[in-house]
Amino acid sequence: MPTVPGGETVPDAAAAAQLADAAAAPAPAAEYFDVDLASIYECGEELGEGATAKVHRAKLLQPREYVAVDGAHWPIPGAVAVKTMRRDVEGFNMADVRREIECMRALSHPRVLELYEVYHSEHSVQLVVQLAPGGELFDAIVERGQFTEAQAANVLRELCTALGALHERGIIHRDVKVENVLVLAAGSASGGDAPADAPADAPAEHILLTDFGSARPLAPGEMRHTMCGTPVYAAPEVLLGKGYGTCASDMWSVGVILYMLLCGYPPFFADDLPTIFALIVMGRYSFPSPEWDAIAPSAKQLVCGLLHIDPTKRLAAHDVLEHEWVRTAVARRSSLLQAVPEELARAGSRYSLLRKEAHGVVAAGRMERMLGDLRASLSGDAPKPDVQPSAADE
């Protein structure tokens, strides 16, 4: 059989024809080689673009089914999203794509983006996935113009429900960030009403966790050392190169997201990456006035429990789900987080610039040198970073 760039084997014409007929007996997230996706889906507007992929809204042209992890057959919705990864783009890695596919196959969960089908060609790999009409979480908040503690608690609960399911299977996501939290429209076919375990008056809008390209299985006792994901969400142990043998680094990223949900800007923020890294590894953050004045003390305590620099003392997903603030915040539904939409809109451009800087640093291979300088400064081999104490230490 011929191969395409990345080492993927492509069936010959006869085998490809058999795969094209496989819709009659679909497999979980069935894969098709040299089958023209355009004959099955009509791609429309672009929904987003990453370093190695583009995502488009698409319409199913003919009825098809997919098989969920539990073996149940379900119709593929008429509206889907298609993620296209071109093989000739710098940074494309078929091994990462394969791991993303296998991870999504292994986990069918209401709060995890569903994978329906995969199409391989000589030039690209295309994933047909669930459509999240609400787009990225923070864009939805800015557009809505208001946000409450109850809604923040509901988002956190759903995110930790998804991560808890992932972690129970021994899988670490390694790129938990706001861009990878999507919004389902309230009452959608995939979202429906509020889950059975949700508080009675919790918002019916749901989120989906996505992008499993960096996810990896984590065996008991195994240590990983790869610096991956998005630097501003990275846990101290990841930046320091100490290795991580649990899913605690994901939960640090959850803490960064929660902080931003409550005030509209990240806990560790500066004009350059080295200073941000120094703030992160020393756990220097605060709850400044006036944004945090009306926030429930239990919410601040939860932030501290997630942003604990010691991963062995950091809260796990199940701890978050049992936390007082997550269980009771709906009672504070009238508590508007007045600054959040405005602060998110204001911080968006600065955050975007930092993301571009981080991508540039990684692409240029300067990340390890930058982190090496930071580690040396903290070990006493160089001047300590000039970072002020924070209210979180008081």
pLDDT tens profile 355-369:
554 454 444 455 566
pLDDT of residue 228: 76
pTM of the model: 0.79
Rounded percentage of the chain residues whose pLDDT exceeds 70? 70
Which is more confident, 107 or 15? 107
Residues 49-72: pLDDT tens digits? 887 899 999 999 999 999 887 788
pLDDT the model gives residue 371: 62
Are residues 243 and 149 located together in one domain of the fold?
A: yes
Q: Write down the pLDDT at residue 345.
A: 64
Task: Tell me the CATH number at 79.
Answer: 3.30.200.20
Please say which residue of 66, 100, 130 terminates a domain. 130
46 and 86 assigned to the same domain: yes
Other Cβ atoms less than 10 A from the Cβ of 394: the count is: 7
Q: What is the mean pLDDT of residues 91-120?
A: 91
Known catalytic residues? 175
Quick one: 39 and 159 in the same domain? no
Residue 380 resides in a domain: yes
How far is the first Cα of the chain from the last one, in angstroms, to the nearest whole number?
65
**Which residues neighbour 384 within 8 Å (Cβ) at sequence distance 6 or greater?**
377, 378
The pLDDT value recorded for residue 1 is 41
* SS3 assignment, position 9: strand
Residue 34 in tokens: 């040299």
Cα angle for residues 94, 96, 102 (degrees, 5° grid): 100
Q: Please give the Cα distance from 288 to 301 (Å, whole number).
A: 15
Are 24 and 119 found together in one domain? yes
Q: Are residues 216 and 352 in the same domain?
A: yes
Q: Which of 229, 275, 190 is nearest to 96 (CA)?
A: 229
Determine the average pLDDT of the residues in 347-376.
Answer: 55
Same domain? 248 vs 299: yes
The more confident residue out of 49 and 252 is 252
106 and 173 share one domain:
no
Q: Does the structure show a pLDDT above 50 at 223?
A: yes
CATH of the domain at 329: 1.10.510.10
Pick the more confident residue, 393 or 133: 133
- At 138, the pLDDT band (50, 70, 90 cuts) reads confident
Q: Average pLDDT in the 1-24 region?
A: 43
Per-residue pLDDT at 346: 62
Has residue 13 been placed in a domain? Answer: no
State yes or no: pLDDT of 165 exceeds 80.
yes
Query: Domain residues for 40?
Result: 19-130
- 153 and 111, same structural domain? no
Can you tell me the distance from the alpha carbon of 23 to that of 130, in angstroms, rounded to the nearest whole number?
Answer: 18
Name the average pLDDT for the chain: 79
pLDDT category at 10 given cuts 50, 70, 90 is: very low
CA 374 from centroid of its chain's CA atoms:
26
Q: What is the pLDDT of residue 369?
A: 65
- Please, which residues have CB within 8 angstroms of residue 203's CB and are 6 or more apart in sequence? 150, 151, 154, 186, 194
For residue 164 the two structure tokens come to: 């808890």
The pLDDT score that the predictor gives to residue 279 is 93
**7 lies in a domain?**
no
Q: How far apart are CA 1 and CA 223, in angstroms?
A: 37
* Domain count of the fold of the chain: 2
Per-residue model confidence as pLDDT tens digits over 307-326: 999 999 999 999 999 999 99
pLDDT at 192 over 60: no
